Amino acid sequence: MFYSSYIPGKLSNGLTVDQDRQVEILKQQLDQCDGVLIGAGAGLSTSAGLTYSGERFEKYFYDFAGKYGITDMYSGGFYPFPDEKTYWAWWSRHIYINRYVKAPSSVYDDLLSLVVDRDYFVLTTNVDHQFQMAGFDKKRLFYTQGDYGLFQSVAPVRQKTWDNRETVMAMMEAQGFVRDEDGVFQPPENGELKMEVPEELIPTCPDDGSRMTLNLRVDGTFVEDEGWHWAQSRYEAFNRRHKGDRILYLELGVGMNTPVIIKFPFWQYAAENTKAFYVCINKGEAYCPQAVADRSVCIEGDIGEVLQNLN
């Protein structure tokens, strides 16, 4: 599905104009296009404030940092915790603040305001649910790499997933987190948290009693459930519907970790359709193939700032 035959040749910075002119061109393309295909990577959520280190980490993981020497959420995800109760104490916090709490800045809201009245679709490798929390139509989203809000079996016999909201909330309460007036879990005033969850909250598969894990594409056991396949079919239908149209391929914060999912296909789609226009907004990695440079703008900068300028 995500294989791209496009082989990147010489890369370019796109149309050689200053950033103000690039933003103006993007505005024009939004106004003139028949549809917008958004490709969103981790850089979009980073711009929205969903960082894995700094204040957010220190607020929710200070006890893990002190005991285990963990310095950020990313590296903590690989830590060999001593038992399941500690493992799920860590991961319930990680899931909660990266899946059930809205991003601190308005980046996703600003993006929605640009496309809400247009025919759009979103292809994303992000697993944090921020598009839906901002109000994007669920039927216009394809989360290719999974969802922090879903459990699956570690050895799935069937391609099924289970919603984890109720379990995660119970784990947060069991560790001593308290809700504020807005319903958001906060560390208690005395700072005393439990670094484990009760045995009875450790999730097991309802089908066969096996150990559960997150529905994330980390190995060959990733479950592509019915919802995943429905989203895939809608993505393919969007591409078919707009074949040969004036399509804007809007790539936001996509790096080179998994370029075959978004970046390479977008380059190929733009190369094959002379009516298409490609836009890449990325801090430090904004470029495109020379073959589509005259129909591209590559904006080096913070996605949130660019979206605010557009609005």
Cα first-last separation, the chain: 34
Instruction: Write the class of the CATH domain 11-47+104-147+225-310.
Output: alpha beta
pTM flag (> 0.85): yes
Burial label, 7 (beta-carbon count in 10 A; 0-12, 13-18, 19+): exposed
How confident is the model over 270-310, as pLDDT tens digits? 999 999 999 999 998 899 999 999 999 999 999 999 999 98
How confident is the model over 135-158, as pLDDT tens digits? 999 999 999 999 999 999 999 999
φ, ψ at 219 (rounded to 5°): -160, -170
Report which secondary-structure segment, H or E, holds 202.
none
Which of 113, 150, 151 lies closest to 129, judged by CA?
150
DSSP 57: H
SS (H, E, C) 150-163: EEEECCCCCCCCEE
Please report, for the chain, the start and end positions of each structural domain, with discontinuous segments joined by +: 11-47+104-147+225-310, 55-102+165-202
